[in-house]
C-alpha cells in the first residue's frame, strides 16, 4: 500500500472539515477545509435577475473566485489593485458556476439570483475542488433562505442533485486522490473531476504534465475520483441534514 508524506493512502482524502453558516450576513455560507486548503464560500440571494433574463420566469446562479494575497507561501498582489482579473481566476469562476448550475433547475428557482463568492484563505492544492464542494452547501442554504422568506415557492425544488469535486493525479505511475500542493507540482498527470451526488460527471479537466496517460490510467483516475466525491457527498448530506435541509 502506497503511503504519502502525510501518511495517507493513495486513495484517501485529506481531512475535510466544514463550518456551516460561518458568515453572519450571507444567506448561505461554509468555510471548508481540504487539509491545509481553506476556502470561504458565501451565497448572496437577490430577488430579481439580470436584465437578459427578466420576464423568462427563470433564476440565475453564478460564482466568483478569488485568492487572498497571502493564501500562498509568498504574497500575491490583489487582482483588483492590478486592474485586471487573471485568466486562471476567470476560468475557475466559470467552472464553479457551471458546476452549480448543473444541479439547479432555474425555473424552480423563480426570478431570483444567487451569487456564490469563493475566497481562498489558504492554498495547499485543490482550491477549486474545495470551492465547488463548499459552494454547494452555501447554495443549498441560500435556497432554503429564499423559501423561508417567500421568494421561492415552498413546493419548488430548485436543486435536482448535489455536486462535489476532487483532484486526482499520477505520481511515479501511481494514481493519487486529493493532491496537496507538494504532490500536485510533481504529478505527471493532473486532473480535476466534478461529479453529482448520483455519480454523474459534470466536468473532467485533465492534463498530462509530463508523460501522456493511456485509457487504463484515465479509468483508474476516474475510479478514485468517484470514490472521493462519493465520500464528499456523504459529508455534504450529513452537514445539510443537521438543519433538516
**What HEC string does 32-94 produce?**
EEECCEEEEEEEEEEECCCHHHCCCCCCEEEEEEEECCCCCCCCCCCHHHHCCCCHHHHHHHH
Has residue 244 got a pLDDT over 70? no
Confidence of residue 76 (pLDDT cuts 50, 70, 90): confident
Mean pLDDT of 232-236: 98
8 A C-beta contact, residue 184 and residue 128: no
What's residue 240's pLDDT?
A: 96
The average pLDDT across 100-109 equals: 97
The pLDDT of residue 225 is above 70:
yes
Least confident among 80-84, 87-91, 127-131, 199-203: 80-84
d(CA 43, CA 116): 4
Q: Give the pLDDT band (50/70/90) at residue 243.
A: low
The share of the chain scoring above pLDDT 70, in percent, equals 98
Residue 209 has pLDDT above 60, yes or no: yes
C-alpha cell at 173: 505511475
The pLDDT value recorded for residue 1 is 59
Q: pLDDT per residue over 42-70, tens digit each? A: 999 999 999 998 999 999 999 999 999 88
Which domains are assigned to the chain?
A: 14-240 (3.30.230.70)
Beta pairing, strands 201-208 & 189-196: antiparallel
Q: What is the pLDDT of residues 143-184, one digit of tens each?
A: 999 999 999 999 999 999 999 999 999 999 999 999 999 999
Position 245 pLDDT exceeds 60: no
Range of weakest confidence among 70-79, 104-113, 134-143 = 70-79
CB 99, CB 194: distance < 8 Å: yes
Share of the chain above pLDDT 90, in %: 86
pTM of the model: 0.95
Confidence of residue 2 (pLDDT cuts 50, 70, 90): low
Amino acid at each position: 500500500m502506497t503511503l504519502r508524506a502525510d501518511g495517507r493512502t493513495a486513495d484517501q482524502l485529506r481531512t475535510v472539515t466544514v463550518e456551516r453558516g460561518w458568515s453572519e450576513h450571507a444567506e448561505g455560507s461554509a468555510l471548508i477545509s481540504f487539509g491545509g486548503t481553506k476556502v470561504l464560500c458565501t451565497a448572496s440571494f437577490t430577488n430579481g435577475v439580470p436584465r437578459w433574463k427578466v420576464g423568462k420566469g427563470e433564476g440565475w446562479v453564478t460564482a466568483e473566485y478569488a485568492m487572498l494575497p497571502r493564501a500562498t507561501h509568498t504574497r500575491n498582489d490583489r487582482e483588483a489593485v492590478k486592474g485586471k482579473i487573471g485568466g486562471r481566476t476567470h476560468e475557475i469562476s466559470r467552472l464553479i458556476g457551471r458546476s452549480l448550475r448543473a444541479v439547479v433547475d432555474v425555473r424552480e428557482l423563480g426570478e431570483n439570483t444567487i451569487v456564490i463568492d469563493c475566497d481562498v484563505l489558504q492554498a495547499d492544492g485543490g482550491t477549486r475542488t474545495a470551492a465547488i464542494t463548499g459552494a454547494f452547501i452555501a447554495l443549498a442554504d441560500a435556497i432554503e433562505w429564499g423559501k423561508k422568506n417567500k421568494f421561492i415557492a415552498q413546493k419548488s425544488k430548485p436543486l435536482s442533485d448535489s455536486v462535489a469535486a476532487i483532484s486526482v493525479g499520477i505520481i511515479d505511475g501511481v494514481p493519487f486522490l486529493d493532491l496537496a500542493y507538494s504532490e500536485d507540482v510533481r504529478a505527471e498527470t493532473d486532473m480535476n473531476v466534478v461529479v453529482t451526488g448520483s455519480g454523474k460527471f459534470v466536468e473532467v479537466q485533465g492534463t498530462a504534465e509530463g508523460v501522456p496517460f493511456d485509457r487504463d490510467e484515465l479509468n483508474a483516475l476516474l475510479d478514485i475520483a468517484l470514490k472521493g466525491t462519493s465520500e464528499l457527498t456523504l459529508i455534504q448530506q450529513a452537514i445539510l441534514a443537521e438543519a433538516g435541509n
